[in-house]
Amino acid sequence: MHGLLATGAVVLGEYAMAGLWPYLAILALIIGLYLVERRHAEAVTRLEENILAILLATITLVSFSQVIARYGFNSGWSGALELTRILFAWMILFGMGYGLKQGLHLGVDAAIRLFPKPVFRIAALFGALCTALYAIILLSADWLSIFGANSSGGAIFYWTKFFNLGLGLDDVRYPEWVQETFGVQERVQRWIAYLMLPIGLALLAYRSLQAIVQIWTGKRELVIAGHEAEDLVAENKDLLKD
C-alpha cells in the first residue's frame, strides 16, 4: 500500500512539474534579467536594441529579396510571407516591454495633469498597475480563479499546448541538410514561432512593475510618453516646413 502511494505521489509530482516548468522558466528569465540589469543596465539596453534591429533588418532583407526574386527571376520562397509575419509579431511583442522601459508608448496625459500632484501620482500608479495586470492576465489567467472568476488559459497555456503537440508551421520548413543532420521534422514547429508570445508578455509585466517602483520613488512620472511627445514635435516643427 505504501509503495502504491509513493508511486502515485511520484507520478503526480512529475505531472505537476510537467505543467509548471514553463512558468518556472519564465520566472527564471525575469529573475535573471533583474540580476544582470542591476550590474549591466546599459548592456541589457543595447542587447534589446540590437534584437529589435536584427528583427527589423531580417524582415527588410526577406521582403526585399522576395521582390527581387519574384519580379526579376519569376521565383521566390513560399515561406517568406509567413516568416515576415512571425518576425513582425516578435518585434511587436518584444518591443512592448522595451517601449515601456524607455517611455516610448504614446498616451494622452492632458486630463491627469490637471490633478493635484498627489492625485496625479496615484493616477500614474494606477495606469502602471493596470498595464501590469493586463500583461499578467494575458500571460496566464488561471490565478483569477482565486477571486471566483471562471477563467483559465493564457499565453503560457497556449504555447505549452503547441509545444506538446509538436505541430509545424504552414510554409516555413527546415533546410534539407538540417533535416538530414539532426533528424528533425520537415516543418518548423509552431512552438518556436510562438515562443515570443509568453516572453514578450512577461517582459511587459516586468517593465510595468519596474515602472510602478520608479513612479512610487519619484524617478519617473508616467508609463507613457504624453507631453514628452508633444514637446518633441514642437522642438522639431521647423524641420517639417518646406
Question: Can you give the pLDDT of all 242 residues of the chain as single tens digits?
Answer: 445 444 444 433 444 455 799 999 999 999 999 999 999 999 999 999 999 999 999 999 999 999 998 888 888 888 899 999 999 999 999 999 999 999 888 887 778 888 899 999 999 999 999 999 999 999 999 888 888 888 788 999 999 999 999 899 999 999 898 898 988 899 999 999 999 999 999 999 999 999 999 999 999 988 887 655 556 566 666 665 55
pTM (2 d.p.): 0.85
Residues with Cβ within 8 Å of 40's Cβ and at least 6 positions away in sequence, in order, are none
Query: Are the C-beta atoms of 95 and 127 separated by less than 8 Å?
Result: no
- 158 is written with which cell numbers? 497556449
**Dist CA 242 CA 239 (whole Å):** 8
